[in-house]
Amino acid sequence: MRNTTIAMAVAAAVALPAILQEARAETPVERGSYLVNTIMTCANCHSPKGPPAAVAGKDFSGGLTFDEPPFKVTASNITPDKETGIGAWSDADIKKLLLTGVRPNGVRVAEVMPTSFYPILTPGDLNAIVAYLRTLKPVRNKVPDPIYKIALPHHIVPGAEKAFTQADLKDKLKRGRYLATIGHCLECHTPFVNGAHDFKNSLGKGGREFPGPWGVSKSRNITSSKTAGLGSWTDAEIKTAITHGKDKDGKPLKGPMGYQYYAKMTDADLDAVIAFVRTLPAID
């Protein structure tokens, strides 16, 4: 009898913070900040980078340059500065860019900007991202104009064609799929074959090379293959890799994966992403 009472009291104490959290609804700006600064890693590309270190106070004012055969582009200034950022864009302009890759002037962005993955965004999350971008401090910084050598394609990643609903996000596995999609995990973790991602045959197989200040890294196999992928890893080991950049043996992982952004995700969201990653069919 006494034990039951104690057990119930403990259960109530444990459950309380969760109830409090649910009672306090997140504002759109808070939700936007959470998405932009964790799973969507916008600043990983759009902020100036070292070496030696990121430049304080210049977040979102322009960042990495991608010099590839079809184009040479620099991640844009996405602060609300009217002349050098996106301060003169309407909310609808920003949403159109995120969903279709097309700017207000009709020019399409290169697909390194992961717009192929964003049509899955719920209408609420899309609004939240725009609301948050509006709160950024305007920073004046002119980014070099893009150079395009071919007419750029726009793909939509399989599974991302249609906006998810709020109800979808209540299902753990669907939420995991959603977060992994807007986090474009499989963009980096799927090899390029003949100039396009081979999502059909090699989803999650890894092997793409990323040159950077870290040297050259190669994305790893994150399918459920027991030998080549994550099949023999525990959830805790996968979580440490994603949030702390350490592999199963504790060895540090290199960029450009945004470990420090993922470290700020809620446990529930990380668990959902891991549950989804576990469903990737094994490829050796």
- Residues lying near ligand HEC in the complex (CB under 6 A) are found at 36, 40-42, 44-46, 66, 73, 75-76, 78, 86, 94, 97, 103, 109-110, 112-114, 129, 133, 146, 180, 183-185, 188-189, 210, 217-220, 222, 230, 238, 241-242, 247, 253-254, 256-257, 262, 273, 277
Q: Of 168 and 243, which has the nearer Cβ to ligand HEC?
A: 243
Q: Of 6 and 252, which has the nearer Cβ to ligand HEC?
A: 252
What is d(CA 107, CA 181) in angstroms, rounded to the nearest whole number?
Answer: 24
Q: Of 129 and 157, which has the nearer Cβ to ligand HEC?
A: 129
**What are the tokens at 72?**
């040479």
What is d(CA 64, CA 177) in angstroms, rounded to the nearest whole number?
Answer: 27
Q: In the bound complex, what is the minimum distance in angstroms from residue 52's beta carbon to ligand HEC?
A: 20
Q: Of 86 and 203, which has the nearer Cβ to ligand HEC?
A: 86
Answer yes or no: are the C-beta atoms of 218 and 207 closer than 8 Å: yes
The conformation of residue 50, written as its DSSP 8-state character, comes to -
Query: Which residues have C-beta within 8 Å of that of residue 10, sequence separation ≥ 6?
Result: none
Q: Where are the beta strands (DSSP E) in the chain?
A: 65-68, 71-74, 147-148, 192-193, 196-197, 209-212, 215-218
Q: Of 133 and 203, which has the nearer Cβ to ligand HEC?
A: 133
Q: In the bound complex, what is the minimum distance in angstroms from residue 98's beta carbon to ligand HEC?
A: 6
Q: In the bound complex, what is the minimum distance in angstroms from residue 146's beta carbon to ligand HEC?
A: 4
What is d(CA 6, CA 62) in angstroms, rounded to the nearest whole number?
Answer: 56
